[in-house]
A and B are shown apart, each in its own frame.
Chain A
Amino acid sequence: AQRVTQPEKLLSVFKGAPVELKCNYSYSGSPELFWYVQYSRQRLQLLLRHISRESIKGFTADLNKGETSFHLKKPFAQEEDSAMYYCALRDGQKLTFGTGTRLTIIP
């Protein structure tokens, strides 16, 4: 069965410092991975997906099949990045989410 692990429940980073949110997965097939974000008082929304290899709001994530990881990175944190971040794996019709990491940017 698939599994998504986000080892850090909480992460605090100073403004301007690099950010890395960790995500590891367990899946027997070829994974489709996503990062979802939830800002304060807003709904869960897609941040980025590994297939499109895009950079959204300065964030990138690279799929590393050897390490079964999909870590989210940003070189310079901004205060507006404070939010809850969820890594998710798609298996057919369902998304399997990690438990999330609450990122706080310290001004």
Chain B
Amino acid sequence: ETGVTQSPTHLIKTRGQQVTLRCSSQSGHNTVSWYQQALGQGPQFIFQYYREEENGRGNFPPRFSGLQFPNYSSELNVNALELDDSALYLCASSVKGGETQYFGPGTRLLVL
């Protein structure tokens, strides 16, 4: 069984740029959720994807967008980066309707 993987592990961008983060779900999982974890905080829900469609969204502006592909992998895109977007971005996969989400190692984004 392959766990959740994310790429890249680290990324540095400047304000105003755009970034794409990638996630491969665990084998057998069809749902992907994205979370933002700022320093000293718990993860905050950004959105979830199921069957290639957004299936719920947290309090994040539209410049945070995503995609899910037929193989259930997913991308998180952030446009017009702001300094406050600096955080650890976590991806979690699960089976639709299942309780447990399995997390990836995260991508650490630094916006200068």
The answer to whether A and B belong to the same complex is yes
Task: Please report A residues at the B interface, Cβ cutoff 8 Å.
Answer: 4, 32, 34, 36, 43-46, 49, 51, 86, 88, 90, 92-100
- Is the Cβ of A95 less than 8 Å from the Cβ of B105? no
- Is the Cβ of B45 less than 8 Å from the Cβ of A95? yes
- Is the Cβ of A43 less than 8 Å from the Cβ of B105? yes
Contacts of B4 in A (CB 8 A): 43
| Interface of A, helix, strand, loop or mixed by DSSP | strand
Residue B7 at the chain A interface, CB threshold 8 Å: no
- Is the Cβ of B103 less than 8 Å from the Cβ of A97? no
- Is the Cβ of B33 less than 8 Å from the Cβ of A94? yes
Contacts of B42 in A (CB 8 A): 4, 86, 88, 97-100
Chain B residue total in the interface (Cβ 8 A)? 25
- Is the Cβ of B99 less than 8 Å from the Cβ of A94? no
Contact with A along B45-57 (1 / 0, CB 8 A): 1001010000110
- Is the Cβ of B104 less than 8 Å from the Cβ of A97? no
New contact pairs (11) apart from A43-B104, A45-B102, A95-B92, CB-CB < 8 Å? A32-B99, A44-B43, A49-B100, A51-B99, A90-B99, A93-B55, A95-B35, A95-B45, A97-B35, A97-B43, A99-B42
Q: Give chain A nearest CB distance to B59 CB in angstroms.
A: 9
CB contact under 8 A between A44 and B103, given known A92-B56, A93-B33, A99-B40: yes
A selection of 24 A-B contacts at a CB cut-off of 8 Å is: A4-B42, A32-B99, A43-B104, A44-B90, A44-B103, A45-B102, A45-B103, A46-B101, A46-B102, A49-B99, A88-B42, A90-B99, A92-B56, A93-B50, A93-B55, A93-B56, A94-B33, A94-B45, A94-B48, A95-B43, A95-B45, A95-B92, A97-B35, A97-B44
